[in-house]
């Protein structure tokens, strides 16, 4: 069944990926109409999230952000499909890193953890590996269909990126370090952990929630450098990224320092252009449910 699904779906994805620029984004407009006006995909969740984190904004502004978000989400989803046919040269024109020297300097000394949020086009963030010499990794969630999983790994490989699961990350860092190999590890770090597994709670967009701190745990344990990847959408299909250093050595940071810095940088990014954040996730679903042991965390 997995193979049949792959054989049926892949040709359609490939056809979408090779559409000319204008046709491609016209198709995105059609998808927007279906999801926003027709299906109403997760509109209740999006509205609830926006009202929760932007109590100071009036209804007209919230509706503007909501609509702009859905347009961007459709673009971003289809741009992920576009990855199938994008060459290394094409993606460099569409996704520009403004200051690659930040990573180029750090990679001479240590492995680097690049952290980012579900913002702009996080799927194309792996193209940063086109600017560096070190071995590139991206932490991802394994796809249930093994044929699609194998295929997506092959696609990412052309961008000098090896996909690894979260469970494989630490042992990969340790193995590379033992062999004298410096790696660059990309990780989306704004997920909502399961409440019973949360090791840290902190305000995010003004609301206290459980926070994923796996990136900090690895950085402090293994002495990794940590860099925040701030991405901006310049126009449809074009992004630019700024690399913001958090630490050159995780072992030299205080507990929660890396996590807090990441959260504040993510908040700043969201407030600049809120429509480019992924509002369909129930990021604040555990608010007000922190255990007593976290009650004093500020």
Concatenated DSSP letters of 165-176:
-HHHHHHHHHHH
In the chain, where the domains are located: 88-291
Q: What is the mean pLDDT of the chain?
A: 93
Q: What is the pLDDT of residues 101-121, one digit of tens each?
A: 999 999 999 999 999 999 999
* pLDDT exceeds 80 at position 296: no
Q: What is the pLDDT of residues 276-291, one digit of tens each?
A: 999 999 999 999 888 8
Percent of the chain's residues with pLDDT above 70: 98
Q: What is the pLDDT of residues 150-166, one digit of tens each?
A: 988 888 887 888 999 98
**Looking at per-residue confidence, does 49 or 155 come out higher?**
49
Q: What is the pLDDT of residues 257-268, one digit of tens each?
A: 999 999 999 999
Q: What is the pLDDT of residues 20-44, one digit of tens each?
A: 999 999 999 999 999 999 999 999 9
User: Which pLDDT value is given to residue 87?
Assistant: 86
**297: confidence class by pLDDT, cuts 50, 70, 90:** very low
- Single out the residue of 130, 125, 138 nearest to residue 160, CA to CA: 130
User: Which pLDDT value is given to residue 60?
Assistant: 97
CB 239 within 8 A of CB 94: yes
User: Which pLDDT value is given to residue 298?
Assistant: 47
CA distances, 96 to each of 24, 71, 163, 237 (Å): 21, 22, 21, 11
- Angstrom distance (rounded) from CA 76 to CA 123: 8
Q: What is the pLDDT of residues 235-276, one digit of tens each?
A: 999 999 999 999 999 999 999 999 999 999 999 999 999 999
User: Which pLDDT value is given to residue 141?
Assistant: 87
Q: What is the pLDDT of residues 174-190, one digit of tens each?
A: 999 899 999 999 999 99
Which H or E element spans position 208? strand 207-210
User: Which pLDDT value is given to residue 219?
Assistant: 97
Between vectors from CA 231 to CA 235 and to CA 50, what angle results, nearest 5°? 85
**126: confidence class by pLDDT, cuts 50, 70, 90:** confident
Average pLDDT over residues 43-59: 97
**Looking at per-residue confidence, does 14 or 298 come out higher?**
14
Q: What is the pLDDT of residues 55-99, one digit of tens each?
A: 999 999 999 999 999 999 999 999 999 999 988 888 889 999 999
User: Which pLDDT value is given to residue 19?
Assistant: 96
Whole-number CA gyration radius for the chain: 20
User: Which pLDDT value is given to residue 294?
Assistant: 62
């Amino acid at each position: 069944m997995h193979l049949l699904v792959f054989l049926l779906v892949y040709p359609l994805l490939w056809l979408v990926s090779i559409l000319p620029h204008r046709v491609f984004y016209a198709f995105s407009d059609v998808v927007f109409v279906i999801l926003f006006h027709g299906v109403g995909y997760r509109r209740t969740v999006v509205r609830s999230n926006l009202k929760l984190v932007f109590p100071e904004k009036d209804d007209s502004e919230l509706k503007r952000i909501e609509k702009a978000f859905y347009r961007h989400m459709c673009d971003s989803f289809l741009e992920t499909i576009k990855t199938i046919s994008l060459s290394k040269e094409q993606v460099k024109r569409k996704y520009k890193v403004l200051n690659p020297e930040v990573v180029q300097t750090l990679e001479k000394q240590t492995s680097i953890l690049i952290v980012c949020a579900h913002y702009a086009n996080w799927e194309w963030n792996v193209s940063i590996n086109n600017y560096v010499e070190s071995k590139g990794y991206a932490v991802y969630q394994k796809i249930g269909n093994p044929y699609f999983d194998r295929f997506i790994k092959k696609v990412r490989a052309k961008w000098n990126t090896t996909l690894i699961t979260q469970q494989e990350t630490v042992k990969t860092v340790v193995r590379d370090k033992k062999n004298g190999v410096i790696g660059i590890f990309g990780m989306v770090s704004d997920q909502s952990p399961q409440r019973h597994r949360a090791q840290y709670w902190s305000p995010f967009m003004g609301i206290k929630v459980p926070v994923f701190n796996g990136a900090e745990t690895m950085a402090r344990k293994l002495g990794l450098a940590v860099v925040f990847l701030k991405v901006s959408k310049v126009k449809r299909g074009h992004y630019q990224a700024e690399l913001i250093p958090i630490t050159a050595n995780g072992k030299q940071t205080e507990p929660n320092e890396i996590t807090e810095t990441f959260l504040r940088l993510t908040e700043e990014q969201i407030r600049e252009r809120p429509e480019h954040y992924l509002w369909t996730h129930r990021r604040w679903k555990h608010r007000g449910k922190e255990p007593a042991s976290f009650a004093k965390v500020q």
